[in-house]
């Protein structure tokens, strides 16, 4: 069960968690409804559940069907790129079954396998799938900053703003690069998603990114159950804690938490094509 905390986060009406995996931990099976109740009590107006393979993508779609405030992203994580042949049909089917984006996809060179070539193949296939389904993409990039940007830059130049003027074509999930690379992503039509790690004292680069990226180009996320923000580090992360990240970003940027919550939620609604939130 979820370890109790001294107090649940103070509400921040209008906040939006752009990336979660509450399907991924058995603990959430035991208290999923309570977890969602805490999120809504914290003021959240939307949550995005993100798959990593066909089975988890179907779980995300099921959660989205249960609550109109929950939205599903489907895809094959680079960690499982060597399963592309087996997963291809299922991912393509899920993409046509109510998904709001394709993800999380990309490159992860922090592990010895799958091989970079296998990851790139799965990445490019899913980019093409997103274009065919007219969905944006949610990108995972770890220890592969330049390699990932090269693929996305080429793709973005080829497909253009296929979702229409004023709507981004991708988001950099749990962004861990520097401010200069973030600016390059903004230039090619991507949003930068700021995770709870921005609250860590030993993360000056993440804090500089949060200062540098304009609110109009930003999302905030928990990546639950991982990367729990201060002051809740050491506990399982959950969507309600996105309000702590919003408050921290507001302090960095010298604006109100309400402005951060409102603007990043508007960005999420536009990016995922959700219409009116709340």
pLDDT tier, 96 (very low <50, low <70, confident <90, very high otherwise)? very high
For the cut 80, the answer to whether the pLDDT of residue 278 exceeds it is no
Count up the domains in the chain and report the number. 1
Nearest Cα neighbor of 57 from 126, 144, 148 is: 126
* Residue 3, in any domain of the structure: no
What pTM, to 2 d.p., does this model score?
0.96
* Residue 2, in any domain of the structure: no
* Residue 105, in any domain of the structure: yes
* Residue 100, in any domain of the structure: yes
Residue 112 has a pLDDT of: 87
Query: What is the CATH number for 90?
Result: 3.20.20.140
Q: Which residues, 6+ apart, have CB-to-CB distance to 109 below 8 Å?
A: 116, 119, 142, 143, 144, 147
* Residue 278, in any domain of the structure: no
Mean of all residue pLDDT scores within the chain: 96
Tokens linked to 137: 């993409």
* Residue 1, in any domain of the structure: no
Range of the domain at 180: 16-271
* Residue 42, in any domain of the structure: yes
Q: For 227-256, how does the pLDDT look when each residue is reduced to its tens digit (9 = 90+)?
A: 999 999 989 999 999 999 999 999 999 999
* Residue 63, in any domain of the structure: yes
Average pLDDT (55-64) is: 97
Residue 191 has a pLDDT of: 99
């Amino acid at each position: 069960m979820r370890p109790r905390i001294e107090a649940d986060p103070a509400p921040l009406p209008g906040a939006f968690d752009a990336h979660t995996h509450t399907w991924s931990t058995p603990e959430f099976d035991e208290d999923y409804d309570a977890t969602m109740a805490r999120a809504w009590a914290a003021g959240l107006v939307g949550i995005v559940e993100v798959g990593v393979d066909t089975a988890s993508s179907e779980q995300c779609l099921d959660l989205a069907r249960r609550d109109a405030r929950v939205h599903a992203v489907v895809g094959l994580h680079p960690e499982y790129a060597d399963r592309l042949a087996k997963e291809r049909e299922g991912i393509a089917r899920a993409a046509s079954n109510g998904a709001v984006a394709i993800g999380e996809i990309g490159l992860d060179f922090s592990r010895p396998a799958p091989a970079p070539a296998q990851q790139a193949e799965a990445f490019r296939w899913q980019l093409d799938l997103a274009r065919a389904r007219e969905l944006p993409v949610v990108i995972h990039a770890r220890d592969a900053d330049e390699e990932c940007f090269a693929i996305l830059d080429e793709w973005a130049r080829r497909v253009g703003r296929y979702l229409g003027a004023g709507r981004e074509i991708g988001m950099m999930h749990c962004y861990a690069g520097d401010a200069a690379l973030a600016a390059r992503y903004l230039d090619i039509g991507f949003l930068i998603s700021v995770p709870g790690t921005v609250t860590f004292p030993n993360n000056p680069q993440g804090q500089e990114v949060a200062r540098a990226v304009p609110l109009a180009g930003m999302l905030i996320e928990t990546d639950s159950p991982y990367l729990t923000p201060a002051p809740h580090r050491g506990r399982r992360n959950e969507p309600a804690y996105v309000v702590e990240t919003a408050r921290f970003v507001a302090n960095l940027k010298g604006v109100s938490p309400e402005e951060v919550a409102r603007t990043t939620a508007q960005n999420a609604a536009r990016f995922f094509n959700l219409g009116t939130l709340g």
